[in-house]
Amino acid sequence: MKLKKIALLIITFVFINNYITSQEEKKIIVEHSDSLVVNEITHPNIKKLYRNVILKHENSIMECDSAYYNTKENVFYAFSNVHITKPHETDTVHLYGDSLRYSGNERLAEIRKNVIINKDSMVLITENMDYDLNEDVGYYFDGGVTHNGEDTLISKYGYYYSRLDELYVKDSVEIRNPKYTVFSDTLKHNLSTKVSFILGPTEIISEKDSNYIYCENGWYDHNRDVAQFNENSFLRSKEHTLNGDSLYYDRNNGYGEAFRNVEIKDTVQNMILKGNHGEFNEFTEYSMMTDSALFIQIDDKDSLFLHADTLISQMNTIVKQNDTTTYRIIKAYNKVKLFRRDFQAKCDSLIYSLLDSTIEFRVEPVMWSEENQITADFIKVFTINNEVSKIDILNSALIVSQADSIRFNQVAGKDMIAHVNNNKLYKIEVKSKSKTIYFPYDKKILVGVNKIESNDMIIYMKNNKVDKIWFYQKPVAVLYPPLFLNKNELKLKSFKWLDKHRPRNKDDIFYW
C-alpha cells in the first residue's frame, strides 16, 4: 500500500510540474523595451512598455513602438509599427499592422489597420485580420488584396492558411492577371502552385484572347494556363461557344475539350455540333465531335441535321495569286445519315463545303428527294440559297421511284446530272449506257411497261412523273403490255430499294 501511495504521489507531482511548465511556456516574455513602467499599487499586473518593444511567445516574435502587457491574463496590446514574425521549417510569415491585441493563452493575434502579411513573394493587404498562431490561419473580413507574382487577388472575406500556402476567399472575388480577369463567388487559391479551385459561380474574361469562360466548379492553373471546368461550364471565343458537363481548357494552345452534353456553336454560320465528346481549337477554329455526334445547320426554312460516328468542322484556305479565300468545311465519317425536309441521305463519309455550298456523299451513298431514291458510287449535291439546285450522280448511277405497291420507275446510267427547281426534280441528264424502265398511266390506269436503252438520254419530269424523254445515239424503246413481262424483267440489274434506311425525321438519323 505504501508503494502504491508513493507511486501516486510521484505521478501527481510529475503531472503538476508538467502543467506548470506548459503554463510557463505559454507566458509572454518581454525581450526588450527602452522603457518599462509598472504601478505596483493600482495595476500591479500591467506592464507599460515604450520604444523598441520586443515580446516573445513560444516561437513567435512581436515588435512594436509601445505595448500594455497584462501578465495575469497573458494578454498584451501593441501600438504603432506592429510586426509579428512567425517562423516555419522552410520559411517565415511576417505580419504588420497599426495595432494588435494578442492573447497568449489562445495564441490569437487581432491586428487592426493597414494590415500586411508577407511570406516569400506573397503579400496580403487588408484593414483588419484575426490570426490564429496555433493553426497558422488568418481571417480578414473588411476586404483584402493579395499580390502573388502576376496575380492580384481581391475579395471581401478570406482565410489565409499559412502552412498550406492557401487562400480561401468569398464574396466579390477577383483575380487580375495580364492575360485575363477572374470574377467569382468563392475560390480556394494555392499561392505556391498558383492553382485556383473554383467553388461557386465564376467568370474568366480575356480581352486579349477575346474569350469568356463561365463555370461553377473546377480549377485553373495560373502557371500553365490550363484548367478543368465543371457544372454549367462554357467557353465563348470570338465566333464560337463550347459548353459541356466537363470542360478542359489550355489557353496557350487555344485548345478545349468537353465531355457529356457537349455543344460547339458557330454564332456567325448558325451551325451547331453536339455530342458527348468534343474538341475545339480557338486559334485554328477546328472542331471535332464524337459519341452521339450531331451537326445542325440552322435555317428558318429548312434546318439540316447530320449524324455520324465522327464529325469535324475545320477552316480551309485557297490562295490564288494575291487573293486568299478562307471557308469552312464539315466532314463526317462512318454511319453517316442526313435529314432535311427537302432531301435525306445515307453514306459512310461526307464532305460539306460552305465555299460553294456543296455536299459530297461517298462510300455506298443513298439520297432521297421527294419520291426519288438516288444511288451511285459518288453523289454531289449543289445548293443555292439553302435549296438543292443540281445533283451529280457519278458511276453506277441509279434513280428509283415507286410507281405503285409492286412497281418501280427506274433510270440507270454510268453518270447522271439531276436538275432541281423549287425542291422538285425536273430534268435528268443520263450519260452513257442509259437505261430506263417506267410505267406510264392514263387516268390511273396502267398503260404498260416502257423499257428504253440508248447511249445518252434526257428525261423531263413533271410532278415527279416522267413527262418526256430525249434519246441520243441508237435508242431502243419498247412499250410492253402491263402483264407481258415477268417480275424479274420489271427491274434493272442494278436495282435496289433502300426505303427502310430512309430517315423520316431528324431523330431517325441516329438509327443505322
Residue 22 lies in a domain: no
Looking at the structure, do residues 129 and 267 belong to the same domain, yes or no?
no
Residue 311 lies in a domain: no
Looking at the structure, do residues 270 and 358 belong to the same domain, yes or no?
no
Residue 398 lies in a domain: yes
* Dihedral (Cα; 114, 115, 119, 122), 10-degree rounding: -60
**How far, in Å, CA of 437 to CA of 413, rounded?**
12
pLDDT digits (tens, 9 = 90+) for 156-211: 999 999 999 999 999 999 999 999 999 999 999 999 999 999 999 999 999 877 88
Is the distance from CB of 101 to CB of 89 less than 8 angstroms?
Answer: no
Looking at the structure, do residues 129 and 157 belong to the same domain, yes or no?
no
Residue 194: which region, alpha, beta or left (left: phi > 0; alpha: psi -120 to 50)?
Answer: left
If you write DSSP's letter for every residue of 262-319 in order, what string do you get? EEEEETTTTEEEEEEEEEEETTTTEEEEEEEEEEEE--SS--EEEEEEEEEEEEEEEE
pLDDT digits (tens, 9 = 90+) for 15-57: 444 444 444 458 999 999 999 898 877 788 899 999 999 999 9
* 3-state class (DSSP) for residue 62: strand
**How far, in Å, CA of 48 to CA of 37, rounded?**
5
Secondary-structure breakdown of the chain: helix, strand, coil percentages, each rounded to the nearest 5 = 5, 65, 25
Q: What is the predicted pLDDT for the residue at 113?
A: 96
Q: What is the predicted pLDDT for the residue at 89?
A: 74
Of 142, 169, 188, which residue sits at a domain end? 142
Looking at the structure, do residues 279 and 365 belong to the same domain, yes or no?
no
Of 104, 121, 142, which residue sits at a domain end? 142
Domain that holds residue 129: 27-142
Looking at the structure, do residues 473 and 340 belong to the same domain, yes or no?
yes
Residue 18: which region, alpha, beta or left (left: phi > 0; alpha: psi -120 to 50)?
Answer: alpha
Looking at the structure, do residues 275 and 343 belong to the same domain, yes or no?
no
Q: What is the predicted pLDDT for the residue at 223?
A: 92
Is the distance from CB of 368 to CB of 387 less than 8 angstroms?
Answer: no
Residue 41 lies in a domain: yes
Query: Of 372, 364, 420, whose CA–CA distance to 396 is shortest?
Result: 364
Q: What is the predicted pLDDT for the residue at 434?
A: 93
Residue 10 lies in a domain: no
Residue 1 lies in a domain: no
Looking at the structure, do residues 289 and 342 belong to the same domain, yes or no?
no
Looking at the structure, do residues 404 and 473 belong to the same domain, yes or no?
yes
CA 151, 156, 157, 162 torsion: positive or negative? Answer: positive
Looking at the structure, do residues 504 and 356 belong to the same domain, yes or no?
yes
Residue 215 lies in a domain: yes
Residues whose CB is less than 8 angstroms from the CB of residue 126 and which lie 6 or more positions away in sequence, other chains included: 115, 140, 142, 143, 144, 145, 158
Residue 80 lies in a domain: yes
| pTM for the full predicted model | 0.82
Looking at the structure, do residues 335 and 433 belong to the same domain, yes or no?
yes
Of 94, 127, 142, which residue sits at a domain end? 142
**How far, in Å, CA of 49 to CA of 51, rounded?**
7
Cell numbers given for 303: 434546318
Looking at the structure, do residues 97 and 133 belong to the same domain, yes or no?
yes
Low-confidence ranges of the chain (pLDDT < 70): 1-25
If you write DSSP's letter for every residue of 431-449 in order, what string do you get? ESSEEEEE--EETTEE--E
Is the distance from CB of 278 to CB of 265 less than 8 angstroms?
Answer: no
Query: How many structural domains comprise the chain?
Result: 3
Looking at the structure, do residues 270 and 366 belong to the same domain, yes or no?
no
Q: What is the predicted pLDDT for the residue at 21?
A: 41
CATH number of the domain bearing residue 229: 2.60.450.10
